[in-house]
């Protein structure tokens, strides 16, 4: 009975919606069977409750999207140039980035956005420590690795500002990344 009380009803609702989409018809029988299947799935495969406090800030969300599209465009260009350089072997690296926030939501969004930018890929994400391990194309040296780490921190900050997750503690060396401040990150 305690497991039934701990059901996440939003997850059940989403599973019912997926069930309806899979069957392709809206009927009382499909909704009832979808609810039964969704509850059974949630009881057999319980999920840890998500801690999310999201408040969308439109101005910062617009900046996040514009800056992300710019990053994708510039990274695409850089990857294209690097692949056309004959006889030069790029020096790739796996970089560890300890995110400053403890939000699972921010970890997920940052990991997805970093993976969508050409030239970088999330190898591992540790939710317990909020650490990302990233494979990065043509880093070069420690300074290049640190520059990329700072770009990830700036992206994390933009996500926090745009989606209103719990604010990240800011270390003294953290850079701000606001629209029009002229800094890259």
Could you tell me if 16 and 28 are in contact, meaning their C-beta atoms sit under 8 angstroms apart? no
For residues 119 and 37, membership in a common domain is answered with: no
pLDDT score at 181: 43
110 pLDDT above the threshold of 90: yes
Indicate whether 155 and 68 sit together in one domain. yes
- Structural domain includes residue 51: no
- Residue 50: the pLDDT is 62
CB 153 within 8 A of CB 169: no
Asked whether residue 17 falls in the same domain as residue 79, the answer is no
Q: Which residues pair with 98 in a beta bridge?
A: 131
Q: Are residues 156 and 67 in the same domain?
A: yes
Average pLDDT of the residues in 113-142: 93
Q: Is residue 183 part of a domain?
A: no
Element (H, E) at 125: strand 120-126
% of the chain exceeding 70 in pLDDT = 83
Does 37 share its domain with 73? no
The pLDDT of residue 165 is 58
Q: 47: pLDDT confidence band, cut at 50, 70 and 90? A: confident
In 3-state terms, what secondary structure has residue 135?
A: strand
Q: What is the pLDDT of residue 54?
A: 74
pTM (2 d.p.): 0.68
> Do residues 156 and 147 lie in contact, with contact meaning Cβ atoms separated by under 8 Å?
no
Tokens 């910062």 belong to residue: 60
For residue 22, the enclosing domain spans: 2-44
109 and 154 assigned to the same domain: yes
Long-range contact list for 72-76, CB < 8 A, 24+ apart? 72/116, 72/117, 72/118, 75/117, 75/118, 75/119, 75/120, 76/118
Q: Quote the percentage of the chain above a pLDDT of 90.
A: 50
Domain co-membership, 122 together with 36: no
Residues 62 and 151 in one domain: yes
pLDDT for 10 beyond 90: no
Q: Phi, psi at residue 133, to the nearest 5°?
A: -110, 120
Q: Is 74 within the bounds of a domain?
A: yes
Rounded-to-integer distance, Cα 159 and Cα 105, Å: 10
Task: Please check whether residues 72 and 157 belong to one and the same domain.
Answer: yes
Given its phi and psi angles, is residue 138 left (phi above 0), alpha (psi -120 to 50 degrees) or beta? left
- Same structural domain, 104 and 146: yes
User: Does residue 177 fall inside a structural domain?
Assistant: no
- Both 33 and 63 in one domain: the answer is no
Distant-in-sequence, close-in-space partners of 148: CB < 8 Å, separation ≥ 6: 95, 120, 134, 136, 139
pLDDT of residue 171: 46
Are 62 and 17 found together in one domain?
no
User: Closest Cα to residue 167, out of 116, 113, 106?
Assistant: 106
Q: What is the mean pLDDT of residues 159-174?
A: 63
* Residue 173 resides in a domain: no
Domains: count for the chain: 2
pLDDT of residue 6: 67
């Amino acid at each position: 009975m305690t497991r039934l009380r701990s059901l996440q009803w939003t997850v059940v609702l989403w599973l019912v919606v997926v069930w309806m989409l899979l069957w392709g018809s809206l009927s009382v029988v499909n909704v009832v069977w979808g609810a039964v299947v969704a509850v059974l799935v949630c009881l057999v495969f319980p999920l840890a409750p998500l801690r999310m406090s999201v408040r969308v800030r439109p101005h910062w969300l617009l900046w996040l999207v514009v800056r992300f599209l710019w990053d994708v465009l510039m990274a695409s260009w850089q990857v294209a140039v690097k692949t056309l350089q004959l006889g030069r072997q790029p020096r790739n690296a796996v970089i560890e980035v300890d995110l400053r926030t403890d939000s699972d939501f921010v970890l997920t969004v940052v990991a997805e956005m970093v993976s969508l930018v050409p030239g970088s890929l999330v190898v591992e994400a540790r939710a317990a420590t909020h650490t990302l391990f990233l494979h990065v194309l043509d880093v070069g040296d420690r300074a290049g690795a640190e520059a990329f780490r700072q770009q990830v921190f700036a992206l994390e900050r933009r996500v926090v500002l745009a989606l209103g997750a719990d604010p990240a503690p800011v270390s003294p060396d953290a850079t701000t990344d606001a629209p029009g401040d002229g800094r890259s990150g």
